[in-house]
Amino acid sequence: MDIAQQKRNAKEFIERWSTADRGREKQDSQSFWLDLLENVLGVEKPTEFIRFEKTVKLSHESFIDGYIDQTKVMIEQKGSSHDLSKAIKQSDGSLLTPFQQAQRYAGNLPYSERPRWIVTCNFVEFRVYDMEHPNSEPTIIKLEDLEKNYYQLEFLVDKSNQHLEKEKQVSLDAGELVGKIYNELLKQYIEPNSERSQRSINQLSVRLVFCLYAEDAGIFGKKNMFHDYLAEFSARDMRQALIKLFKVLDTKVEDRDPYLASDNPKLAEFPYVNGGMFSDEDIEIPPFTEKLKDLLLRNASDNFDWSEISPTIFGAVFESTLNPETRRQGGMHYTSVENIHKVIDPLFLDSLKDELNEIKKTKQPATLKKKARAFQEKLSHLTFFDPACGSGNFLTETYLSLRKLENEAIRLETGGQGSLDVGQLEDTVLVSIQNFYGIEINDFAVSVAKTAL
């Protein structure tokens, strides 16, 4: 659902729920929330997303009006005639506002189910309480303003947390797979413990991972390009095939042998990869075995989708898997995405999000586009530096977070267009990895950081 459609849906939602015969607590609450989740916030199966009448044990059995497990949101719903600031007499005789009532429910839930957010609602307005800051004033969103302020309710369905565990597991699986390839490659080196061999196998592993990711993520243009190129060679000939491929990837198209397309059409189709990843020709590539070929083409290419990995997590997992020092120490250590955001959110990301949200309130389309463009240009001029970057997970997650903000700004500039084709993006995207810098003493970690970015 693009921005324009979401605004239209929000307008229609307002019209449906502003009539005099709507807004009864018992009869209308569930229909109201299902309508909001499906038609304004884009939840495909809202009945499976939200739970109504969740049981909670007080001195007696009571029921929570609505609870969203995925985003840890508790909802306390009242009728349209009720003032959300006023206390209501409870069954035990106490007087509690809807928020205080929800707090009491929250305090009697298992710790793992306690809400991150509490929303009180009376069909006329939403009051949003951030339980990370329980003493702060709530954000108030009027139903009549939902067409322009709908984005303030997107925390209800934020899917980022849903994907974190999946990305983490996929990245761990990828690290284990690369570790198997690494171990088989190491057996093929004449002097596996020499400094040159150690440096070479690290560089070779990084290049193979990049190629596997590039063919699945569309960087090479065609699906399975890397696989189909190598599949034509025997295990004995794969060494030379990789040497030729790396040379082509490091050569601009206009500088290549003009007869390459005739001699080897599949090789000629590979694009030029800038950044110097394939520029070092002085790396030792050992002979391949049938087992190695099978691991690379069947296990790593055919049976694994590299586009699903998180570059943020995988950089550190990759380093832990292959770095000889961490392999000797045992264990796997990396900073999770959640913990990265505990640093970067208060440092700069929260203020940038607030700035973009203020821009979204602009009513005049021409002014909105102008402000969105200025915000995008501001993002493109920010410079980030990590003086001990390791495998680059802070830099990578910061880059991804800025690009998400930039994508929102681009949609505002283009009038809410839902998607852009690659050609448009090449001319539109301003945020670049050239704005990100790091220092790291471990040369292998540097290679991993470059690959992740």
123, 158, 193 - which closes a domain: 158
**Overall number of domains in the chain:** 3
pLDDT, one tens digit per residue, over 297-325 is: 999 999 888 887 777 766 666 665 555 55
Same domain for 343 and 267: no
Q: What residue has token string 């609602």?
A: 121
According to DSSP H, which parts of 115-259 are helical? 146-149, 160-188, 195-217, 225-231, 238-249
**How many whole angstroms separate alpha carbon 278 and alpha carbon 283?**
10
- 427 pLDDT band, cuts 50/70/90, is low
| Cβ contact 380:432 at 8 Å | yes
Q: Is residue 232 a contact partner of residue 225, using CB atoms and an 8 Å limit?
A: no
Q: Is residue 319 part of a domain?
A: no
Q: Is the dihedral of CA 170, 171, 172, 173 positive or negative?
A: positive
Regarding whether 284 and 397 lie in a shared domain, the answer is no
Same domain, 16 and 141: yes
Task: Quote the CA–CA distance of 248 and 207 in Å, as a whole number.
Answer: 13
Domain that includes residue 250, residue range: 163-309
**Nearest partner of 230 among 301, 280, 282, judged by Cα:** 301
CA distance 105 to 126: 19
79: amino acid identity, one letter: G
Percent of the chain surpassing pLDDT 70: 88
pLDDT tens for each residue of 108-151: 888 888 898 999 999 999 999 988 777 778 889 999 989 878 87
Q: Which of 167-176, 178-187, 291-300 has the lowest mean pLDDT?
A: 167-176
Asked, for residue 440, whether it belongs to a domain, the answer is yes
3-state secondary structure of 101: helix
Q: Are 115 and 50 contacting, i.e. CB atoms less than 8 angstroms apart?
A: no
CB atoms within 10 A of CB 114: 14
Residues with Cβ within 8 Å of 450's Cβ and at least 6 positions away in sequence, in order, are 206, 275, 277, 392
Quote the pTM value. 0.57
